[in-house]
Structure 1
């Protein structure tokens, strides 16, 4: 994902802190991808019925993360209000999902990995919300 930082640094509408945006986008893409893979791993577990809420929460969070990455990646004429709402939603989805995944982390390594990715994504979304201009 290092190329996204290079692209942002060379974009005609270069943001004040392209590295902060690149870090957020990378975290959102990574988290979203890991959550989809973790959901698949949960589906393969012998007691999958016990993991339905975790699977659903993970897939919902993955959708929010991936949408956030796409929205934040668009630097031309952004809507500050839309960006704020999207980043807030992603941070909250990641918070909820990390708690759900944490409840299975002792049993399943894939859930531990996802909980960690969710916490990192939540932190980068909040950092972008509070640390940089969104226009």
Structure 2
């Protein structure tokens, strides 16, 4: 029986010697980390798929840029959140807010391409961006001062 990535992340965080001192609610933290890593991969794949849309490539330049930016920001956010030793909440808050903004911008752009050009890869990317955006917001809402 294999574990999902989310379950494995949770188990890993629970083994951290300072897990009881975390300023985050565990389920919100795990969900946000998981959503960030998923979104990074989906955005990378969507950017690549957009590059393959040769007949629409000129219309997709902004989408490709947003996908690439969002992928990098989500990956970095996930990596920052998984570190539990002596977190600097002001830095984490700013990073999660940045991730939320990147996911919103990318999700909005991909949604337009999904609706106007019936691009299924953009539809899936918009869904992943929304999930990550919501997970970031939930984590921000629950952050202690």
What range describes the TM-score normalised by the shorter chain of this pair?
Answer: over 0.9
Distance in 2 of aligned mates of 1:119 and 1:39: 17
Q: In the TM superposition, what is the alpha-carbon distance from 1:133 to its structure 2 partner?
A: 3.2
Aligned residues: 134
Using the alignment, how far apart are the partners of 1:13 and 1:83 within structure 2?
17
Q: From the CA coordinates, give the structure whose radius of gyration is larger.
A: 2
Instruction: Provide the residue aligned with 1:66 in structure 2.
Output: 75
The offset of 1:96, in angstroms, is: 0.8
TM-score, normalising length: structure 2: 0.88
Task: Show the counterpart of 1:10.
Answer: 15
CA distance in 1, matches of 2:17, 2:26: 12
Task: Choose 37-46 or 11-20, whichever is displaced more.
Answer: 11-20
- Which of the pair is proportionally richer in helix? 2
- Consecutive unaligned residues of structure 1, counting only runs of 5 or more, are none
Query: Where do residues 1-135 of structure 1 align in structure 2 (5 Å cutoff)?
Result: 1=5, 2-14=7-19, 15=22, 17-46=25-54, 47-106=56-115, 107-133=118-144
Unpaired runs of at least 5, structure 2: none
Normalised by the length of structure 1, the TM-score is: 0.94
What displacement does 1:132 show? 3.6
